[in-house]
Amino acid sequence: MLEGLLTLFIFSIVLGALGTLFYTTRQGFDYSTVQSHVQRNGTIIQEWMQKELTTAIALQVVNCGPNGTAQKSLMYQTQMGATRCIYERSEAGDPGPQLYRCNMVSWTVGGACSSTPENLLSILLPSVVSENLAPQLFVQNTLFTRVSCLPQSGSCGDAGRSVLAPLVDVRFDMNMTGVLNDIATSYTGQRFLVSVTTRN
């Protein structure tokens, strides 16, 4: 009887350890899967911005569309003459802020959208986003910064440091609702950076 109880006790300890190991392994796998998913989708948005904005004929970091916060939107004109705005905003039903794009009536600072804003995640990622993960992705801390001179010692007016063509640094953090931000409350997501300039 005593030997049976001892065996049962040892077996329960081993079973508990295996359960803990399985849970920890599963949690680590979930985190790595989500990070890989976020990394892939953030890279797609980066590459799209670089392609779209490099071919633009004009580019300005100004308030446009429904955005009224400095450095949260970018207005550009395509080779076909369409004026567009990319901005960060949280619409009804979004899990968090998103990157949106809309057409504008004219090249006017603070101008309104002439088309229904399109969520860049929905535009760019329909074929690569899992149905279960897609609705949870969000973008935050977007920052469009106009670069006027190269970051070196000396003043911005020094020869060779001034930037003549429009050069814009784009930064955004991408995360997934209720997954990666469980690691720490200060975690805002994976950060993506890209610099773009027009070829024209």
> What pLDDT does 129 receive?
47
Q: Count the domains in the chain.
A: 1
List pLDDT tens digits, range 110-144: 999 999 999 888 777 654 445 455 557 888 899 99
Q: Choose among 71, 42, 72, 46: nearest CA to 175.
A: 42
Say how far apart CA 82 and CA 104 lie, in whole Å.
8
Range of the domain at 67: 2-197
With a threshold of 0.85, does the pTM exceed it? no
> How confident is the model over 27-41, as pLDDT tens digits?
666 667 777 888 888
On the question of pLDDT at 82 being above 50, the answer is: yes
Task: Return d(Cα 66, Cα 158) in angstroms, integer.
Answer: 38
Which CA distances in Å does 111 have to 57, 61, 81, 97, 107? 18, 13, 16, 21, 7
The dihedral through the CA atoms of 144, 148, 149, 154 has a sign that is negative
Q: Give the model's pLDDT for residue 142.
A: 92
pLDDT of residue 34: 74
